[in-house]
Amino acid sequence: MGKGTQADLLSRELRACQLSTGDVFRAASKSHVELSPAMQAATVYMRSGALVPDETVWEMVRERVGCLRCGSGFILDGFPRTLGQAASLEQLMESERLPMDAVVSYELPARAVIARLSGRRTCKECRTAFHIVDRPAKVDGICDRCGGVLFQRDDDRAESIKVRLEAYAESTAPLIAFYEQRGLLVMVDAGGMADEICARTLAALNGRRAARTA
Ligand code: AMP
């Protein structure tokens, strides 16, 4: 459904290691362990739909840098989201001599993004995403996969969606030009069902690989 679902499907398909920065912040917000002041602040930003400050995100990614050294490759979901994060990542990858194959940008009109996010319901246990119209659960409010309770994420509420779209336009959209200049950008139409989008993504990545090795 969203980019997180695509990251899950792709990491399974490619057997790659996956780091989803949003998942780390969501897990922190549910954790019973005492959080650092920066992580506490991060969970407040996240619930409102705003971006977490670069320093906090970067510290968290650095702690998980082993993920980028995974032999079968890695997928970063939701990172980088600002030019500052992209510059830090580029520096790190250069210094560690790690290659980056591609950066996927999922394209969807704002109206469709709003319909998709506001109708999303997520399983509390296994994180599977449903949609009240496009992918309803067989039993209302209960996950088909594990029987967990479905809920609406704080950042999928109308007021947070507005903040997320503004943050995207202001901070994340400039990454399109950044990665286009580096020849890494792959644009994928995010319309349709999750498996269709995943097939489209794999085709785009394979097409790109074939063109580069030809
Ligand atoms: P996501 O699940 O990727 O949509 O992320 C959920 C929320 O976590 C975002 O709306 C932000 O508040 C925060 N977040 C995740 N990744 C980043 C990032 N790279 N930079 C800043 N904030 C982030």
Mean pLDDT by 10 residues, the chain (214 residues): 87 93 89 87 92 95 90 94 97 92 95 94 91 94 96 92 95 98 96 93 92 80
| pTM, two decimal places | 0.90
Distance from the CA of 13 to the center of ligand 1, in angstroms?
A: 24
Q: Whose CA is nearest to atom 15 of ligand 1?
A: 22
Task: Give the pLDDT confidence score for residue 18 in this predicted structure.
Answer: 94
Residue 175 sits in a domain of what CATH number? Answer: 3.40.50.300
| Range(s) of the domain holding residue 92 | 3-213
Kindly tell me the burial class for residue 107, based on how many C-beta atoms sit within 10 Å of its own C-beta (0-12, 13-18, 19 or more).
exposed
Supply 136's token pair: 């309803």
CA angle (145 as vertex; 141, 148 as ends), nearest 5: 45
Q: Whose CA is nearest to atom 6 of ligand 1?
A: 22
CA–CA separation, 91 vs 214, rounded Å? 29
Given the residues 47, 135, 153, 208, the one annotated as active site: 153
Please give all residues whose beta carbon lies within 6 A of any atom in ligand 1, as ranges. Answer: 4, 21-22, 25, 45-46, 49-52, 57, 78-81, 85, 155, 164
Task: Give the pLDDT confidence score for residue 71 in this predicted structure.
Answer: 86
Supply 174's token pair: 């400039």
CA–CA separation, 197 vs 154, rounded Å? 25
Total domains present in the chain: 1
Nearest to 117 by CA among 185, 178, 165: 165
CB 85 within 8 A of CB 58: yes
